[in-house]
Amino acid sequence: MMRDEYLPFGKPNFSDDEIAAITRVLRSGWVGMGPETLEFEKELGAFVQAPQVVTTNSCTSALFLSLLAHGVGPGDEVICPSLTWCSTANAAMHLGARPVFCDIDPDTLCASAETIGAKLSPRTKAVVIVHLGGLAIEPGPIRDALPAHVALVEDAAHALGARYADGRPVGSSGNLTCFSFYANKNLSTGEGGAVALSDEETAARLRSLGQNAMPSDAWKRYSHSKSLLSFALTDLGYKMNYTDLQAAIGRIQLRRQPEFHARRLKIATHYHENLPRMISGLRFQRDLLDTDHARHLYLILLPRTGFPVSRDRLLLALRNRNIGASIHYPPLHRMPLYGGADQPALPETESIGARILTLPISASMSLADADAVVVQTEQALRAEERVIV
Ligand SMILES: Cc1ncc(COP(=O)(O)O)c(C=O)c1O
């Protein structure tokens, strides 16, 4: 039997505390970027162990400002994986640079020092690694394989709460590390993002570039300053800042991360206990049940050969049964925007891109929801196999 209500692959979890916090800010008379945002930045810095945090209106903006601050521009190349969301590559393109797609390690589903090294050229100005699904990739070996002038940026849109092998949180590496607080992320404020970093001067530059390159932020200009306000712009900036309304939600969501982390682990464990008996040869992203994994996405890989149901058939069958299965991601390099057929082949990315499937996981899901996914998957497979046979 079909599930009554559609289960999205990622659904935020808001409590009365978030509602109270946003009400407090609405009543305060100031809803732009201000004191709540600064507190959120401090608290996020403590959570990810980063000396500096600069919030933005999205992770897309965080990536763009990070590359801009490093001086990426026309003629430059930026290496990134193809199995990612478009923002990873588009940040480079918006600056006139060319994204150069690298292959992935079939175990982690992420770029590695080897796959990145294969794409290095004298034009490489930056590398963006993606902690896909919330699996923390070690930046050390990648940094060691890069010339000193090449920036290493971490796209941690999925990885709030993930930890590197030494137990330190993603965000603490000193690289420009970009987080997303988009609607379905582990910490959701509707929209939003942040760059975590260590260098104070770069943080000041990022902050300014995201606020029209103003010498001081709007809150200071509007609030109780008694000095004469004047400024002469020297740089062309952008309007990409966060707001106190979002930060008020974010501060509560940050405190609830351990609860969310535990819930995600419970859901993933239930899938792990049940799926392999239905799909022989099923593979998972590495470390999906490890405590260091942020489990933003529950990624499975259907067998390379011998499985009677195609990935797309299974995806549609699940959607028809109100299970929000999804694909993260269709590889970018084969899309027309990025060159399509003219792009060099990326064998692992292409093989994995055709077999990868995301099953719903979120801090809003109950164990009964997870069980519904298991039951519906089993029934969908049976029905599909019957049709095929
Ligand atoms: C890997 C990755 N990078 C960047 C982004 C962009 O995040 P935002 O929607 O906050 O701009 C996303 C969004 O889903 C993402 O999945």
CATH superfamily, domain at 257-388 = Aspartate Aminotransferase, domain 1 (3.90.1150.10)
Distance 102 CA to ligand 1 centre (A): 19
Q: How far apart are CA 120 and CA 113, in angstroms?
A: 11
Confidence band for 389, pLDDT divided at 50, 70 and 90: very low
Lowest mean pLDDT among 122-126, 189-193, 280-284: 280-284
Class for domain 16-255, per CATH?
alpha beta
Buried b (16+ CB within 10 A) or exposed e, 216-227: ebebeeeeeeee
Q: Tell me the whole-structure pTM to 2 decimals.
A: 0.96
Average pLDDT score, the chain: 95
Per residue in 25-79, pLDDT (tens digit) is 999 999 999 999 999 999 999 999 999 999 999 999 999 999 999 999 999 999 9
Q: How much is the average pLDDT of 343-370?
A: 98
Q: Does the annotation count 185 as an active-site position?
A: yes
For residue 388, pLDDT beyond 60? no
Per residue in 89-143, pLDDT (tens digit) is 999 999 999 999 999 999 999 999 999 999 999 999 999 999 999 999 999 999 9
| Two domains, one topology: 16-255 and 257-388 | no
Task: Report pLDDT for 345.
Answer: 98
Q: How far apart are CA 313 and CA 380, in angstroms?
A: 9
Per residue in 256-277, pLDDT (tens digit) is 999 999 999 999 999 999 999 9
| Cis check: omega of the bond before 164, within 30 degrees of 0 | no
For residue 386, pLDDT beyond 90? no
Confidence band for 387, pLDDT divided at 50, 70 and 90: low
For ligand 1, atom 9, the nearest C-alpha belongs to 182
Q: How much is the average pLDDT of 332-351?
A: 97
Task: Report pLDDT for 26.
Answer: 98
Residues 6+ away with beta carbon under 8 Å from 335: none
Per residue in 236-253, pLDDT (tens digit) is 999 999 999 999 999 999
Task: Report pLDDT for 122.
Answer: 98
Per residue in 10-33, pLDDT (tens digit) is 999 999 999 999 999 999 999 999
Q: How far apart are CA 132 and CA 115, in angstroms?
A: 15
Tokens of 241: 């800042």
Q: Which of 55, 58, 60, 246 to mutate to test the pocket of ligand 1 (most atoms within 8 A of CB)?
A: 60
For residue 193, pLDDT beyond 70? yes
Pocket (CB within 6 angstroms of ligand 1): 58-60, 84-85, 87-88, 130, 155, 157-158, 180, 182, 193
- Give the C-alpha distances (Å, rounded to integers) separating 128 from 147, 171, 176, 297: 14, 14, 10, 19
Distance 85 CA to ligand 1 centre (A): 6
Confidence band for 220, pLDDT divided at 50, 70 and 90: low
Which residue matches tokens 């100031």? Answer: 30
Q: Which of 9, 56, 57, 59 to mutate to test the pocket of ligand 1 (most atoms within 8 A of CB)?
A: 59
Give me the residue spans of the domains in the chain. Answer: 16-255, 257-388
Indicate the angle between helix axes 244-255 and 35-48, nearest 10 degrees: 30
For residue 228, pLDDT beyond 80? no
For ligand 1, atom 7, the nearest C-alpha belongs to 59
Task: Report pLDDT for 2.
Answer: 74
